[in-house]
Amino acid sequence: MPKRLIAVLTALLLLPVLAPTPAGAAATVWHVVRPGETLSYVAALRGVTAGELAAWNGIPANVPVQVDAVLRLNQPDVPLPDFRTRIELVTPASVNWKPLKRCPVLPINLRRVWVSYIDFTGAHRDGSVVVRKDVAERAQQAFGTLYRWRFRIMGMAPMSINNPTEKNMATVTAGYNCRAVGGTSVWSEHASGTAIDINPFQNPMIRGRSIAPAGSQFYLQRDRYLIGMVHPEGAARAFMWNDFHWGGRWTSLKDYMHFSLTNK
């Protein structure tokens, strides 16, 4: 099948996920906040009151809503709990440690950071990323901010619990990964545990004509505001305010999913 056709088919398959689905009793309806929008603007646009919107989303009515936030437009079955987070040691096996590979960071210097996140259905989940130990607190801060802003994340480890039907692991929000930069022998910042990728499918990497993950061309049009997308005036700030640099700012290539401490 030609690549373009695959991309179109993938985009079509994703449409129910991309767009609010007003029909059906079980459908969750949401609104992605765009630049310039306020809680009362969204409420008026959607035919609800600002008070309802604040209550349904568990957010203060007097605090500005943030770009890339996803507001639900109906009452949740259970309210979102407060953000929770903890830092754990990792075992070599849990990070797939292979001594002969000579990865740049020893497992003893890595930490698993557990954070609350909101998945694409609006449900609370406990997910984790592995980062170098000195990055752990910054990661907690950034994910805490995303959670309070009601930004949504498609999936985080453990995917067997959080997203068991997802077969495409290229969609996972993750940190440490002992691998080289694609097409080179240079260690990726992920191999040092100093980089985190957020919603890779909605925030692709493009270098020349090469796009990753496969099939994510739809999201290269960055003036779209869709669930899970990261923008400089929106969700990207949660990381940039915690000393991370954003690959969406690069000029040689664009890596919209990528936040790193070293700007590499």
Under the rule (CB under 5 A), what is the footprint of Zn ion?
Answer: 195, 197, 258
Identify residue 72 by its one-letter amino acid code: R
Q: What is the spatial distance between Cα 245 and Cα 259, in angstroms, rounded to a whole number?
A: 5
Instruction: Closer to Zn ion by CB, 43 or 129: give it.
Output: 129
Q: Phi/psi zone of residue 74: left (φ > 0), alpha (ψ -120 to 50 degrees), beta?
A: beta
Which residue in the shown chain puts its C-beta closest to Zn ion? 258
Query: Whole-number minimum distance, CB 122 to Zn ion, in Å?
Result: 26
Query: Whole-number minimum distance, CB 259 to Zn ion, in Å?
Result: 8
Is residue 67 within 8 A of residue 234, CB to CB? The reply is: yes
Query: Whole-number minimum distance, CB 190 to Zn ion, in Å?
Result: 6
Query: Whole-number minimum distance, CB 177 to Zn ion, in Å?
Result: 8
Residue 186: other Cβ atoms inside 10 A: 10
Query: Whole-number minimum distance, CB 61 to Zn ion, in Å?
Result: 36
Cα first-last separation, the chain: 35
Query: Whole-number minimum distance, CB 187 to Zn ion, in Å?
Result: 12
Instruction: Closer to Zn ion by CB, 123 or 206: give it.
Output: 206
Instruction: Closer to Zn ion by CB, 51 or 182: give it.
Output: 182
Instruction: Closer to Zn ion by CB, 80 or 95: give it.
Output: 95
- Using the CB atoms, write b or e for 60-97: b if 16+ within 10 Å: eeeeebbbbbbbbbeeeeeebeebebeeeebeeeebee
Instruction: Closer to Zn ion by CB, 59 or 195: give it.
Output: 195
Strand segments, DSSP code E, in the chain are 30-32, 70-72, 85-89, 110-118, 124-132, 195-197, 205-207, 210-212, 245-246, 254-255, 258-260
Instruction: Closer to Zn ion by CB, 117 or 239: give it.
Output: 239
